[in-house]
Amino acid sequence: MERTLCIIKPDGVEKGYIGAIISRIEKEGFKILGLKRARLTKEMAEHFYDIHRERPFFNDLVSYMTRGPVVLIALEHENAVSHWRTVIGATNPENADVGTIRKLYGNNIEENVVHGSDSAENGKLEIGVFFSEAELISQQ
């Protein structure tokens, strides 16, 4: 079983999509290991997106991710990383497939509603940033 981190980003929370996204997670058969609402600090967002530090959109991305609460969801499924990325769609909602979360609810390439980890290794690491082992419940 693989793990991936879903973040419902500030725009998703602001626009009232928490329920729709959790509902979709359940329909897609993911197990929710952990779930919490949080407010990312500038330091947390910079660390989380460290790989993009040199990109021109980095500062805007950090402002966006810290402007309001997010929802952090630790997910488990077979091939969780690729399955979740298929459900959320391409980074730019304009290029995302019909029916994906980013196509349905995203505004633009920055405000795209949800995060998904990009590898199994990063899925584990990212979940570890926000959840202790004791907070991850495997039992159905």
Contacting positions for Mg ion (CB under 5 A):
118
Percent helix, percent strand, percent coil in the chain, to nearest 5? 45, 20, 35
Using CB under 6 A, which residues numbered 84 to 123 contact ligand UDP?
Answer: 91, 109-110, 112, 115, 118
Give residue 31's Cα distance to chain centre. 15
Pick between residue 66 and residue 91 the one whose CB is nearest to ligand UDP: 91
User: Residue 57, interface with ligand UDP (CB under 6 A)?
Assistant: yes
CA distance 80 to 4: 6
**Shortest Å distance, C-beta 27 to ligand UDP:** 21
Strand-by-strand arrangement of the 70-77 sheet:
31-38, 70-77, 2-8, 114-116
Decide: 3 and 80 in contact? Cβ < 8 Å.
Answer: yes
Q: Rule CB under 6 A: is residue 83 a binding residue for ligand UDP?
A: no
Query: Residue 45 Cβ, how far from ligand UDP at the closest point, in Å?
Result: 11
Active-site residue list: 115
Binding site for ligand UDP (CB under 6 A): 52, 57, 61, 91, 109-110, 112, 115, 118
